[in-house]
Chain A
Amino acid sequence: MMRTPLVLLLCSLALPALAQGNADAAKGKISMCIGCHGIAMYKTAFPEVYSVPMIAGQSPDYIVKALQAYRSGDRSHPTMRGIARGLSDQDMADVAAYYGGTGKAAQ
């Protein structure tokens, strides 16, 4: 019986430290996103030319994972790495909540 609190504690430690995203809070945080991802058919020019991906409607957890990969260096795009390094876990969750899922948060 006494072990129950210990088990609960261990369970909570094992949970992923995902922040809960708030789409409304993201509205003050997306100024760096819309310059590229908010323009249909926009292409990035550095370090090579290709279409900037559409992120509205994307899986929210994937958006967080992508931002974390830019921050850690597992993804290489220089602009995105610079931007991701300036984002907290909470910022990433908020941006993911804004763009992710149905992508209707902005409408």
Chain B
Amino acid sequence: MKSLLALALAACICAPAFAAGDATSGKQKSENCKACHGADGNAPTGPDFPRLAGQHYDYLLKALKDYRSVARKNPIMGAQVGGLSTQDMADLAAYFASQKGALHVIR
């Protein structure tokens, strides 16, 4: 019984410390994204801008965090993430992940 309690406690401590993304909030925060990625993230306005619609949530979140930490270097995105909190990033990732788009898996 004691070990079960310890396990439950350990699971709580290991849980991520911020709320999961909220797509509705993310949509409200996505105004700046539209200029390059298109309204729903599926219609990039330049040939080398990526589609975001339907991409995996955790990948999108990691990309935003990597721009913030400069693990990923891009002048445009580096400037964009400056004003975003981790919660904003999660919300944006949730919004774009929830959109229908052309991205899919092929072998």
Contacts and interface: CB of A to CB of B under 8 A. Distances in A.
Q: Decide if the interface of chain A is mainly helix, strand, loop or mixed.
A: loop
Q: Decide if the interface of chain B is mainly helix, strand, loop or mixed.
A: loop
B48 A39 contact: no
A34 B102 contact: no
Interface residues of A, number: 31
Contacts of A99: 106
Given A38-B106, A58-B50, A50 B62 contact: yes
Contacts of B55: 53-54
B48 A61 contact: yes
A81 to B, nearest CB: 12
A58 B74 contact: no
Interface of B: 44, 47-51, 54-59, 61-62, 66, 71-74, 101-107
